[in-house]
Amino acid sequence: MNDVEVARAAAAAGAAIVRERFGAATKRIEKGGRFEFATDADIDAERRIIEILRHERPRDGVLGEESGRLHGDREGEGDRNRLWLVDPLCGTNNFAAGVPLLAVNVCLALGGRPTVAAVADPFHVETAWTDGTRAGIHRDGEPGPLRPDGGATAVDVNLEPPHPSAPFTTLAMIGDPAFQAEFQARVTATTLTLTWVAMGRRAAYVSDGDLRENMHFAAGVAICRAAGCVVTDLNGDPLPPDGHGWGLLAAADARIHAALLAVVRRLAGDRLAT
């Protein structure tokens, strides 16, 4: 299998476990913060994803949401050049509450840059993917294209704290009159909706926070880029490793990106974290 086939197979295997366990009794595993927890479904899905990655790409490094960093057969080499970023169940709170809005994210970062990726939706049986150049989607096994929609108005925002880029926060943005005049805020608590920007289901996705080796966002970022979306940090600069900024602004096209970036800059001035 080539890299994108490995990513799709791993994401699909994780999604199958998530789908099977949805609605059943699960064990909750606390992770330190008041709202931070995993479930045994997260653990089992990640274990299966890593089994596939280990079998198909034994020399590569893996960074898992639940497992942490695992080295390849050549210790350190895979982590530096080929690192798989795995978020086995993005939307754990939704999962625990019986809300079927979840994503299984698998991404290969080459030299630190998210490149090859697959994002599986366990409930619509669809997987968006990119090989680093092209992007597409498989629905019920049938391939199709991704088409961002410059006429969309719904913007998904990540409201989870902490907000290190204060005084700008996504909370401030969605209350801004200029934002409200053009866009409608949506909060779904999963990065599945980041991939929806590439699918034409969202105008944009906005998040605060540090995106370096971030397994939550990497797959969606890679897919949005390959689909032709405009993807930057909250300063309008390249994401790491090409830049050193903070946060994420992924928009369906340049017009939407410019409108949202203007709101961010007006709220934050020159005080965004760098």
pLDDT tens digits, residue range 128-154? 999 999 999 998 878 999 999 999 999
Which residue, chain included where needed, has tokens 């608590």? 189
pLDDT of residue 24: 81
Q: pTM of the entire structure?
A: 0.93
pLDDT tens digits, residue range 43-72? 999 999 999 999 999 999 999 988 888 777
- Mean pLDDT split into 10-residue runs, the chain, 274 residues: 97 96 80 73 95 96 87 60 95 92 97 96 95 94 92 94 67 92 96 97 92 89 98 92 85 98 86 56
Alpha-carbon radius of gyration of the chain: 18
pLDDT of residue 245: 73
pLDDT of residue 170: 86
pLDDT of residue 208: 85
pLDDT of residue 79: 54
Three-state secondary structure readout of the chain: CCHHHHHHHHHHHHHHHHHHHCCCCCCEEECCCCCCEEEHHHHHHHHHHHHHHHHHCCCCEEEECCCEEECCCCCCHHHHHEEEEEEEEECHHHHHHCCCCCEEEEEEEECCEEEEEEEEECCCCEEEEECCCCEEEEECCEEEECCCCCCCCEEEECCCCCCCCCCCCHHHHHCCHHHHHHCEEECCCCCHHHHHHHHCCCCEEEECCCCCCCCCCHHHHHHHHHHCCEEECCCCCCCCCCCCCCCEEEECCHHHHHHHHHHHHHHHCCCCCC
